[in-house]
Structure 1
Amino acid sequence: MAGSVAEGEEDQKKFCLQEVLDAYKMCLSEDKEVSLQHYVTGWRGLVKLLNSLGSVFSFISKDAVNKIQILVALMAGDSGSHYSTVQLMVEYELQNHLVDLTKRGNHPESGCRTLLRLHRALRWLQLFLESLRTSTEDSKTSTMCSEAYNVSLSQYHPWVVRKAAGMAFCMLPGRQEFFAALNVGSTEQAVAVLGEALPLISEVYQVTEELYAQRNLLDLP
C-alpha cells in the first residue's frame, strides 16, 4: 500500500501545468497546422493532471489514454508520414476511405474518430480550467466542473455515464487544492499560467473544430 501511495505522489509531482503550456505553444505552426505529436504531448500532461486528482476523472482519463495510444501507433506506423499533422491525417484518411462516416464499421480506431473523442474532452477541460482561472475563493470546483461538463462532453455520454460523472464531481478537491495540483507555484502564479495556456488550447480546439466542421466529421459514430 505504501508503494502505491508513493507512486501516486510521484505521478502528481511529474505533472506541471507549464509542460502542458509548452506543448500547446508548439502545437500550431504559423499556417495553423496542428502538430499531432505536440497535441498528444499536451494530452499526456492533461491525463497526469486528471490522475493526480484521484479516481474522480478515471472515466475520462482511461479513455484518453486509450485514444493517445491509438494515435501514437498511427504516427509510428507505416503510414506515419500522413499523421504528422491533424490536417494531413484528415485528408489521408478521407481520401483512402479509412473513416467510418455514417456507422461504425471497418475503421473504429481511425485517427479522425480517435482525435474527435479527445477534441470533445479538451473542450470540457478548457471550459473547466477557464472557470477555475476566473473563480473566487468561495467558488466550488464541483459546480464549475459540472457546468463545463453539461455544456460540452455530457451530450456525447449515455445517461448512466452522466449520472456517474455528476456524482464524481461532488468528490472534487477544493479550489486551493486544485491550484496546488497544477504545480506552478502560488495561486496567483497558477492563474497566470492558466491565462497563458488556455488561449493556446482554445485556438488549437477552434482550428480542429473548423477543420472537422468543413469535412463533416464532427458527428463520427
Structure 2
Amino acid sequence: MADLNDEKPLRNISEAFKELAATVNSQTADLEVAPFSRACSHLSPLFACLGIAFKFAEKDYVAKVNDLAGASKSIGTLQALVEQDVEANTLRKGGSHSRNLLRVKRGLDMFRVLFEQILVTEGNSLKDAASKSYAQALAPYHMWAIRKAVAAGMYALPTKAQLLKKLNEDEASARIQMQSYVATSAPVILYIDKLFLSRELGVDW
C-alpha cells in the first residue's frame, strides 16, 4: 500500500494512471488486475488527507482495493474478473470482486471530480470541491446516516494550502499532477463502466 511517507503521492498517482490509460487507449490489451489495483492503492492516502469527512469512504475503498490486489494473484484481467462472477452467479453478492471493482471505480471518480473542482475553484476552501465530488460519485450509493456524517465532517476539511503541504506539492506542481489524473482516469473509469454495460449488467448497484 502507498502511504503518506511517499514523498510525492500525486506524482505516484499521475504516473500509475498514465500507464493504465495507455493500456486502455491502445485497445490491444485488456486491463490487468495487478497494475490496476496497484495504481488505485496510490490514491488511498488522499482520503486520510481529507480528514474525518471521508473516513468511511477511506475504509471502504482500502478494503476493496486490497480485495482486488488479492484477486490479482489468480485472475489476470478485469474482464476475466467480471466474467468469473457472472458464471458463478455471484456478481451482485456482497464482497464479490465485481461489486468491489465498481466501488473502487466510484472512488476513482470521486477524486477525478475533486481534482477537476479544485482546478477551477478560486480561494483556499475545499468545501465546495469536496461536497460536489462526494455528491456526484458516492452519495447516491450511501445510506442517509453516512451522507449525514460526511456532511458534518466537511467542517474539518483541510484548506487547499494545508492539503498541498500534506502532499508535498506547491500549487503549480499540484495542478500539473491533478490535470494529468483527471485526463488519464477518465478513460479508465469509462473502460470499467463498459465492462459492465456491454454485458447489460448495469453499474448502479
TM range (shorter): 0.7 to 0.9
Structure number with bigger Rg = 1
1:19, distance to aligned residue in structure 2 (A): 0.6
% identical equivalent positions: 23
Partner Cα distance (1:170, 1:214) in 2: 41
1:135 aligns with 2:121: yes
1:135, distance to aligned residue in structure 2 (A): 2.2
1:95 aligns with 2:87: yes
SS in 2 for 1:120: helix
> Which amino acid in structure 2 is aligned with residue 64 of structure 1?
Y
**Aligned counterpart in structure 2 of residue 206 of structure 1, from 190, 197, 204:** 190
Equivalent residue number for residue 27 of structure 1: 20
Equivalent residue number for residue 174 of structure 1: 159
Q: Is the 8 A contact 1:87 1:211 kept in 2?
A: yes
CA spacing shift, 1:94–1:160, aligned 2, 3 Å: same
Q: Which runs of 4+ in 1 moved over 4 A?
A: none
CA spacing shift, 1:109–1:145, aligned 2, 3 Å: same
Write out per-residue CA displacement over residues 78-104 of structure 1, whole angstroms, 9 at most, x where no aligned residue: xx1xx222122112321333323xxxx
> Which amino acid in structure 2 is aligned with residue 48 of structure 1?
P
1:201, distance to aligned residue in structure 2 (A): 0.9
1:113 aligns with 2:99: yes
Unaligned runs of 5+ in 1: 1-10, 101-106
Write out per-residue CA displacement over residues 54-97 of structure 1, whole angstroms, 9 at most, x where no aligned residue: 43321111111111222122222xxx1xx222122112321333
**Aligned counterpart in structure 2 of residue 16 of structure 1, from 9, 31, 34:** 9
Alignment RMSD: 2.0
Q: Is the 8 A contact 1:49 1:181 kept in 2?
A: no
1:153 aligns with 2:123: no
> If the length of structure 2 is used for normalisation, what is the TM-score?
0.87
> If the length of structure 1 is used for normalisation, what is the TM-score?
0.81
Q: Is the 8 A contact 2:82 2:98 kept in 1?
A: yes
